[in-house]
């Protein structure tokens, strides 16, 4: 009975925080049940089985087709223009790539922030860099909400800590909590008020074209996540720090605080600022090149 209760609570959380994942799971489950329901001892050939499966897959894709059909808007072909990036000598390439690796290898997740202010222009440029990431069909499915207000930061902290208490107590489970113990993270997030800025990254599966028709954002989660990578690199390049925060089940409330539409979902939350003078980080080490690269 305890397992059933936990499963029910998990599904409730999933519906509230990630409805698109829940719907995808439900769709796959329906397809599987349909397939199981059509299996009988009268199958005469593998080709009949394959045709039945193909029909089920086609039916399962109808929901996606319907959504795309709603997007009754044709994009005009983009004009192509010449493009030639700066070409460096091989020695320059080696030196620049090594310098960039050194810069990024010094990046650490920081949870001890100074209250010292950061020039707004720096934050603007960091957001600009996040907006240079590639996206499916160039739909740019991201919105970067910059939070500077002390009142808003306090409200965000209260929302996240309330959910994190529940996450650590029951949603995450003992294994997950234990895996985080060596880093020293808890439900308490004082840095959300200490940092001068919080950047909340929203992803959206669709938006509106100028004529009011639906604009589908293809690969919106992957595209937005790549943008976050660009943004974190810009934070490091500016001499600032951040920590990737994924506030499970806090998304709808954060969306309301930021005044964003229901079509947008929270992807990640990033406090940004200078590290405190007494800041510390776990003495972690990254995998060597041979462990992360395979040449074929």
**pLDDT for res 38:** 45
Q: Which residues contact 231 (CB under 8 A, 6 or more apart)?
A: 126, 127, 129, 130, 144, 199, 201, 270
**pLDDT for res 27:** 52
**pLDDT for res 238:** 99
**pLDDT for res 71:** 55
Q: Is 272 helix (H, G, I), strand (E, B) or coil?
A: strand
**pLDDT for res 29:** 56
* N-term to C-term CA, the chain: 50
β-strand pairing of 206-208 with 214-216: antiparallel
Extents of the domains making up the chain: 2-67, 103-279
Query: CA angle, 132 as apex, 103 and 268 as ends, to 5°?
Result: 75
Residue whose tokens read 């200490």:
194
DSSP 185-200: --S--THHHHSSEEEE
Rounded to whole angstroms, the Cα distance separating 62 from 68 reads 10
CATH T-level fold of 103-279: NADH Oxidase (3.40.109)
- Name the residue among 199, 175, 202, 177 with its Cα closest to residue 187: 177
**pLDDT tens, position by position, for the chain (296 residues)?**
444 434 545 555 555 555 555 555 555 555 454 544 544 333 333 443 444 434 443 443 443 444 555 555 667 788 999 999 999 999 999 999 999 999 999 999 999 999 999 999 999 999 999 999 999 999 999 999 999 999 999 999 999 999 998 888 888 888 888 888 878 788 889 999 999 999 999 999 999 888 989 999 999 999 999 999 999 999 999 999 999 999 888 999 999 999 999 999 999 999 999 999 999 999 999 999 999 999 99
Backbone angles phi and psi of 122, in degrees to 5 = -65, -45
**pLDDT for res 178:** 86
pTM: 0.75
**pLDDT for res 47:** 42
Rounded to whole angstroms, the Cα distance separating 204 from 212 reads 16
Angle of helix 220-237 relative to helix 120-130, nearest 10 degrees?
140
**pLDDT for res 293:** 98
């Amino acid at each position: 009975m305890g397992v059933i209760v936990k499963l029910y609570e998990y599904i409730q959380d999933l519906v509230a925080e990630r409805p698109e994942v829940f719907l995808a799971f439900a769709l796959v489950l329906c397809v599987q049940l349909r397939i199981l329901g059509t299996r009988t001892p009268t199958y005469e050939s593998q080709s009949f089985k394959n045709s039945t499966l193909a029909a089920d897959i086609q039916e399962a894709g109808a929901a996606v087709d319907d959504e795309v059909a709603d997007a009754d808007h044709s994009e005009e072909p983009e004009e192509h223009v010449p493009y030639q990036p700066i070409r460096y000598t091989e020695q320059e390439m080696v030196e620049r790539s090594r310098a960039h690796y050194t810069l990024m290898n010094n990046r650490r997740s920081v949870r001890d922030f100074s209250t010292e202010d950061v020039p707004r222009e720096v934050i603007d440029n960091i957001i600009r860099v996040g907006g240079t990431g590639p996206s499916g069909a160039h739909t740019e499915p991201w919105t970067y909400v910059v939070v500077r207000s002390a009142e808003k930061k306090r409200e965000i902290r209260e929302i996240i800590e309330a959910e994190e208490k529940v996450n650590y107590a029951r949603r995450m489970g003992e294994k997950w909590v234990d895996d985080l113990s060596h880093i020293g993270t808890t439900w308490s997030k004082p840095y959300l008020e200490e940092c001068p800025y919080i950047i909340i990254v929203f992803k959206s599966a669709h938006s509106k074209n100028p004529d009011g028709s639906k604009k589908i954002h293809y690969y919106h989660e992957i595209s937005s996540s790549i943008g976050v990578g660009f943004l974190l690199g810009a934070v490091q390049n500016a001499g600032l720090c951040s920590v990737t925060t994924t506030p499970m089940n806090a998304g709808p409330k954060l969306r309301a605080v930021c005044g964003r539409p229901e079509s947008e979902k929270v992807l990640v939350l990033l406090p940004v600022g200078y590290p405190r003078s007494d800041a510390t980080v776990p003495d972690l080490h990254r995998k060597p090149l041979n462990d992360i690269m395979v040449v074929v």
